[in-house]
Structure 1
């Protein structure tokens, strides 16, 4: 509910939950090189080298529009490094972007660039082109949110979709976040126009209740392939893509932590998108990027 509160008051009701930093991978390629999906950062770095030696792109990425890395990779890495408590304090409290977890997360992203984890044009293609690159069958991994379950089967060949699995981001060395820590939340909600009166207000309340019950949650799963905010919804597993059932299994075990662009100030989001891309391109240091973020956070706090 954190994404739907303002100064402690509920302003909307969530109807779906996204897990923003899932790891989608080609199981057949992992079997081809004799690896299982990594659960630690060290194992991920090793897998990257093995894939490169075998002429396979380790990780597909399409960050042309700047938002994909901050909403997924960066949000998750900060929580894995600093722990869920730090991530919450950074988003909602007094923790600083200049603190070690945020800077280290940016360094981790630059490390992936430096070891050749991504396609060379990762800052020039968008997320849909990323799906297309993965769909060629010689890319091992890509990271995206649970929303990919509804678009992926239509974006890649059936034979690649059939060997695609989904899991969580590996843990980070000496990080405070456990395996199954996943950046996610509810970025979509519904509310009632406060000016409504009489029968219109009553109808709006009935609609809100309908959008919050398990029957709507079931429809949301079976028709839209979207994880619902309501727990306990039953659905026909054969009516959704196989990958969606795996996402639901991940969600059951997930330790969900905030997503930056769902909860922080728009000015901070814009700066984060720009500076993260600049760090990964080698045009800015993590320390400078972090200081620019903190300068904005401090200024916003003074004018609150």
Structure 2
């Protein structure tokens, strides 16, 4: 489950023992988790080892409480893993990149055509100084989950325009649903899902990147407009009579119980929802939010939880890259990831056709794929911006919903926090790759 400022759970795997280690072509892979757990990366390592008898992928587990403290000393001593997962948020990878501890992957990116799969927005989060340093991992997107049965009972079709959605909300309110769209705003961070999506819709990928990596400002007009629209929705009762009174857990209980028709959230709710609803899961669906303004382009959201890095001093970089290719750029490997609940970067259609996933998961992936060519925007700005901006966002979003802060005041509070972070050097370094 996605929670604020912690990001996403790193996949937990155990030692792959299918093939004995061979020093000549052994790639040691470090991941964080509990010893004894066997999950998707063991399966992928076993598959790779069987297809490449001259190479061995050894997946080694490190308990989560010692993974980070042990990693940099091991890399510095030249005794660390050949391949490992690590964070991509602001500040986290600076020590390993600036310290020359990880390999520049730009040549492999060009040679293997990774750009055909990895979206530009993810590249921006895994690159620095015009070079690629990691392959994004654990992708999550957000969309509107809804109760099909409630929609059908009230004659509501899936909204395709803002007017459609407005009409749906009014119909639901008239039918007695006092909270047409569950928000969970008592916990603050769920509102930021709306903020990220709406900022992206109004500003587009270029507008977001202009702030994150250039001279754009959070007070620019698109962000003010997005904030005003969110406040308008709250004023009109979309999120209930007391929008900040309900927490996220209570929201989900009400949603799966059929008491709230819609909620904007992500895939982490699906597994729990299926357990709760059982055969009733067929009553639920998912759709992309329609454009908020006439002519607005629909940009699906996409954020990563971590990245895969290769140790700079590894003697087996080519084998490590071959393993990355088999996991993230091969349809069968991508299908294995999906079947185990790990979403790889980029288009999912081919892998979804082979994967064994819940229908809601497939629908969510396909809804994002439909608009992916428009360009994606971050699903979780709070994971790629510094902590002081996250605090300003969380507090300000509640104030915005309650009407005690104007859109202009809200965006100014973000810009003030952003300028402080820029002065302190705690924002992400500019991303993107240099000319090939």
Cα distance, 1:234–1:86 mapped onto 2, change above 3 Å: closer
CA distance in 1, matches of 2:246, 2:320: 42
Q: Contact 2:335/2:354 (CA < 8 Å) preserved in 1?
A: no
Residues 142-168 of structure 1 show CA distances to partners (whole Å, capped at 9, x for unaligned) of: 1112333333312x4235421111110
Q: Tell whether 2:129 aligns with 1:7.
A: yes
CA distance in 1, matches of 2:422, 2:264: 33
Q: Secondary structure at the match of 1:128?
A: helix
Q: Tell whether 2:303 aligns with 1:185.
A: yes
Q: Contact 1:25/1:165 (CA < 8 Å) preserved in 2?
A: yes
- Equivalent pairs counted in the alignment come to 296
Match of 1:116?
A: 237
Q: Contact 2:135/2:307 (CA < 8 Å) preserved in 1?
A: yes
CA distance in 1, matches of 2:256, 2:279: 9
Structure 2 stretches of 5 or more lacking a match?
1-122, 426-436
Residues 211-265 of structure 1 show CA distances to partners (whole Å, capped at 9, x for unaligned) of: 43434321221121x4311556535668321111212211221231123224323
Q: For 1:198-277, what aligned pairs fall within 5 Å after superposition?
A: 198=315, 208-214=324-330, 215-224=332-341, 226-229=342-345, 231=347, 233-235=350-352, 239-254=356-371, 255=374, 256-259=376-379, 260-277=381-398
Cα distance, 1:122–1:83 mapped onto 2, change above 3 Å: same
Q: Secondary structure at the match of 1:234?
A: helix
Q: Contact 2:327/2:337 (CA < 8 Å) preserved in 1?
A: no
Cα distance, 1:284–1:149 mapped onto 2, change above 3 Å: same
CA distance in 1, matches of 2:369, 2:319: 33
Q: Contact 2:146/2:263 (CA < 8 Å) preserved in 1?
A: yes
CA distance in 2, matches of 1:24, 1:211: 29
Q: Tell whether 2:277 aligns with 1:157.
A: yes
CA distance in 2, matches of 1:27, 1:289: 35
Q: Secondary structure at the match of 2:408?
A: helix
Cα distance, 1:246–1:299 mapped onto 2, change above 3 Å: same
CA distance in 2, matches of 1:237, 1:130: 33
Match of 1:84 among 175, 182, 205: 205
The alpha-carbon deviation at position 292 of structure 1 amounts to 1.3
Residues 116-151 of structure 1 show CA distances to partners (whole Å, capped at 9, x for unaligned) of: 112445434443332211112132111112333333
CA distance in 2, matches of 1:181, 1:262: 19
Q: Tell whether 2:258 aligns with 1:169.
A: no
Cα distance, 1:123–1:237 mapped onto 2, change above 3 Å: farther
Q: Tell whether 2:253 aligns with 1:135.
A: no
CA distance in 2, matches of 1:191, 1:277: 37
Match of 2:266?
A: 145
Residues 14-41 of structure 1 show CA distances to partners (whole Å, capped at 9, x for unaligned) of: 1332213x01111221111112122222
Please report the RMSD computed on the Cα atoms of aligned residues, expressed in angstroms.
Answer: 2.6
CA distance in 1, matches of 2:324, 2:315: 16
Q: Secondary structure at the match of 1:123?
A: coil
Q: Contact 1:3/1:262 (CA < 8 Å) preserved in 2?
A: no
Q: Contact 2:339/2:355 (CA < 8 Å) preserved in 1?
A: no
The alpha-carbon deviation at position 209 of structure 1 amounts to 4.8
Q: Relative contact order (alpha carbons < 8 A, sep ≥ 6): 1 or 2 greater? A: 1
Match of 2:102?
A: none
With normalisation by structure 2, the TM-score equals: 0.61
Q: Contact 2:181/2:239 (CA < 8 Å) preserved in 1?
A: yes
Match of 2:28?
A: none
The alpha-carbon deviation at position 51 of structure 1 amounts to 0.5
Residues 59-100 of structure 1 show CA distances to partners (whole Å, capped at 9, x for unaligned) of: 111123322221x21111122223332233233322221122
